[in-house]
Amino acid sequence: MTAETSFDSAQRFILAAKGFWTTQLYTNLREQYGERCAAQGVEPTTVPQVAAVAEDLTVYRYFAWLERHLQIAKYSGRYGLAHYYREHADEVLKDLDGAAGQSSNLELDPALRMPSYYVATDIHQHPGGVWSEPTAGLVYQHGARSTTPLLGASHGDLHARFTDKILEGGRPARVLDLACGFGKSTMPFASKLPEASIRGIDLAAPCLKLAASNATKAGLTNVSFAQRDASNPGFADASFDLVTSTMFLHEIPLKVLDRVLDECFRLLEPGGRMVHLDFWHMPDPFTRFLHYGHGRRNNEPYMQPLAELDLPKTLAAKGFVDIRIEPFSETADVDLAAVKAWRFPWTYISARKPA
């Protein structure tokens, strides 16, 4: 077996194991938790109360252990993504660096100082973080293929569905995508709004290089990418009529989130919209308990603070109006209440700057 085949086989096994964890193991955990609640005559209403029932269940310990170690294997194991792309760096970076060097849609800032919170933790257990080495953007892109683990269902692309939902409220002409990564959240706007100007910003140069290359290969000429901090992006007041982000708010401390929301308000023209896709809406304490545990196991320390934030009150205090916060399904034609699998608490967060 060649090294390439071994890598592919290992990653397929990890994905299959994640499917087992997402469906069968989660279902068993939920059932045993319910049985124990019934046996003890309790109905937990808080996370600590859920923990008192669930944490010593063998199936929960296995569930938690497997989640963390599958992520370690995915990124850092012998056949992990980080190792693979380091081994193939000369090959995979040749085209990427060439495309980035010729790109007119990319603005990098080598002097940009990385925020301390950003470099302190290997978010997602990505070794070194998405900013740290030339291949990091490629690792992130590859790893993102298994981000939405609602397995076994036929569903459209998460980002395309999010974009479509935003466009139901109108077609913006100037769009800013915060923390755009390798551009997966940005590209649907560029393809669906050919008449609009689309900007994506991120801290990570490796991701931005990949985003610019992907956009160029897709023939998109209305999108550009810049290395900037979302809490101090440097654009003029009222520069955009839509500011958006995907899976960003839960990856920053609350004090940074406060500045980001202020910047969103400042950057929007009167009547402009701010729309985020993130993790906030959790219908029951058991879901919240698992979500908080996921944040710890996946090296995402700001998930719980965001989930506990009074988001409607926070947005209203910033001056936003027409605030909408509602569950979002990453999968088309699925009843979320009937889902028998672990999933992220995807939430559609929309607000408007007063006209």
DSSP 8-state secondary structure symbol assigned to residue 103: -
Give the model confidence (pLDDT) of 329-342 as tens digits: 887 767 767 778 89
The count of structural domains within the chain is 1
pLDDT at 330: 83
Does the residue 103 lie in any domain? Answer: no
Does the residue 268 lie in any domain? Answer: yes
pLDDT at 153: 45
Give the DSSP letter string of 200-252: EEES-HHHHHHHHHHHHHTT--SEEEEE-BTTB--PPTT-EEEEEEES-GGGS
Does the residue 65 lie in any domain? Answer: no
Does the residue 253 lie in any domain? Answer: yes
Amino acid at 355: A
Least confident of 63-72, 112-121, 152-161, 304-313: 152-161
pTM of the model as a whole: 0.94
Q: Token pair 């879901």 is at which residue?
A: 287
Q: Is the pLDDT of residue 86 over 90?
A: yes
Q: Nearest CA to 93 among 42, 138, 47?
A: 138
pLDDT at 329: 87
Q: Is the pLDDT of residue 152 over 90?
A: no
DSSP 3-state percent helix, strand, coil across the chain (nearest 5):
50, 15, 35
Give the DSSP letter string of 31-68: HHHHHHHHHHT----SHHHHHHHHTT-HHHHHHHHHHH
Neighbouring C-alpha atoms within 13 Å toward the C-beta of 79 = 15
What is the chain's mean pLDDT, rounded? 93
Does the residue 15 lie in any domain? Answer: no
Band of the pLDDT at 2, cuts 50, 70, 90?
Answer: confident
Query: Which percentage of the chain shows pLDDT scores above 70?
Result: 94
Does the residue 193 lie in any domain? Answer: no
pLDDT at 155: 45
Does the residue 48 lie in any domain? Answer: no
Tell me the CATH number at 315.
3.40.50.150
Give me the mean pLDDT over the 73-82 stretch.
93
Does the residue 198 lie in any domain? Answer: no
Amino acid at 187: M
Domain that holds residue 173: 147-179+230-352
pLDDT at 149: 58
